[in-house]
Amino acid sequence: MIFRLGDFHVPDDAARLYPHTPGRPWVLEVGFGDGRFWPAYARTLPEVPNYLGVELSGVSLLKAHRRLRDAGLDNAVLTKLPADVLIREVIPHGALDAIIVNFPDPWPKAGHTDHRLLRVPFFQLAASRLKPGGRVLLTTDHDEYFEFALEQARASGVMDVQTGDPPPAALETKYALKWRDLGLGAHHASFTPTAHRPVPHGDVYPYPEDESTVPHAVLTLPQTFAPTAFEKVTQRSPQAGWTVILLDLYQGLRRDGWVALAHVVEGDLTQEVLIGITAREDGSYLVRLAKFGGPIITPGVKAAVGTVTEWLEGQGAVVRHRGY
């Protein structure tokens, strides 16, 4: 099953996500790529654990979804999100039996190590979400990233580090085969929490329960409003932690409005959202977040509706109501 962030509860519960297999171990795979690992690994276990897979790539998500479905693995949930957002928001404290990371992106260039997943904050977050005795399992071909991950785990102060052999299924993933063809070997480590620093769940980002909670504004536009050009608009709130960039404005072919395209960044979560500006019967206009693409209504997305509204005010609009 494919879930969006808004389909999850914050935090969620294994019994809700896997109603037919609630008591089974719960495993998270980060960056599952084309999904080869889980069917191969699950076959080696007496009972298939509940599986949660997180990926950034939508193409990979679809490939993996097909693969898991064809393998008959129905106690599996896949989602397209940054791993740390999913872990922090969705996974309850002390809930996972394992977090598996096979061949994470190595970010090999100098100055790019901040992009690596396996850094101190990840280990502290993982330690807080694993059960006692749970483990993070890392397999990588990349010598330098492997040493970096071991150092970061030790520096986190919450993980015991053990090196050993990878599970055979980790050597059959797409990237494992790629590196094997190049004659490269794989390193493996297992990280077990020794301590538990509380890492709280973050803000709740639920889907709106009803239409009235969709961020919107009602305004009147000047008779002369007919934009022919648009300059990019950027707004930032360091306190609230969002950046909104209005990238462009498009006119609807039905000539009853426009759509603004906004890029919204909040920590690890980036969303592209559309905000409609649509004529109403009484001559006013409704500025409203479009449902297209299933946006998650975060403070930054609300701010994007505000940014469009304020841009329209700059063009002479008079706001009658603000609902964002």
Ligand X SMILES: C[S@@+](CC[C@H](N)C(=O)[O-])C[C@H]1O[C@@H](n2cnc3c(N)ncnc32)[C@H](O)[C@@H]1O
If one counts every other C-beta atom within 10 angstroms of the C-beta of residue 254, the result is: 8
105 touching ligand X, by CB under 6 A: yes
Rounded to whole angstroms, the Cα distance separating 145 from 233 reads 38
54 touching ligand X, by CB under 6 A: yes
324 touching ligand X, by CB under 6 A: no
Which one of 50, 79, 102, 271 is in contact with ligand X (CB under 6 A)?
A: 102
Here the tokens at position 216 are 């919107």
* Degrees, nearest 5: CA angle 270-274-279: 160
Residues belonging to the chain: 324
Q: Give the nearer residue to ligand X in terms of CB position, either 63 or 135.
A: 63
Name the helix (H) or strand (E) containing 190.
strand 187-193
124 touching ligand X, by CB under 6 A: no
Q: Give the nearer residue to ligand X in terms of CB position, either 83 or 125.
A: 83
**Residue 82 neighbours by CB under 8 Å, 6+ apart:** 54, 56, 268, 269
Query: Segment contacting ligand X (CB under 6 A): 17-25, 102-110, 160-168, 233-241?
Result: 102-110
Q: CA 86 → CA 89, 90, 205, 212, 245, distances in Å? A: 5, 5, 12, 27, 24
Which one of 8, 18, 26, 32 is in contact with ligand X (CB under 6 A)?
A: 32
Name the helix (H) or strand (E) containing 266.
strand 257-266
Query: Segment contacting ligand X (CB under 6 A): 42-50, 55-63, 120-128, 240-248?
Result: 55-63
CA 296, distance to chain mean position in Å, is 11
Residues 170-189 that bind ligand X (CB under 6 A): 173-176
- Give least dist CB 123 to ligand X, A: 14
Q: Give the nearer residue to ligand X in terms of CB position, either 102 or 307.
A: 102
- Pinpoint the alpha helices (H) of the chain: 14-17, 37-42, 58-70, 83-90, 120-129, 143-156, 174-181, 299-314
Q: How many residues bind ligand X (CB under 6 A)?
A: 20
- Give least dist CB 90 to ligand X, A: 13
Which one of 57, 220, 235, 284 is in contact with ligand X (CB under 6 A)?
A: 57
Residue 159's nearest CA partner among 191, 132, 136 is 191
Is 109 annotated to bind ligand? yes
Which one of 27, 49, 51, 60 is in contact with ligand X (CB under 6 A)?
A: 60
Is 232 annotated to bind ligand? no
- Give least dist CB 276 to ligand X, A: 31
Query: Segment contacting ligand X (CB under 6 A): 41-49, 97-105, 252-260, 288-296?
Result: 97-105
Which one of 39, 53, 104, 276 is in contact with ligand X (CB under 6 A)?
A: 104
Q: CA 140 → CA 34, 40, 254, 305, distances in Å? A: 16, 18, 53, 42
Catalytic residue of the set 7, 12, 70, 105: 105
Rounded to whole angstroms, the Cα distance separating 306 from 323 reads 9
Is 47 annotated to bind ligand? no
Q: Which residue's Cβ lies closest to ligand X?
A: 31
If one counts every other C-beta atom within 10 angstroms of the C-beta of residue 3, the result is: 18
As annotated, the active-site residues are 105
Residues that bind ligand X (CB under 6 A): 30-33, 54-57, 60, 82-83, 102-105, 117, 173-176
Residues in binding site for substrate: 109, 141
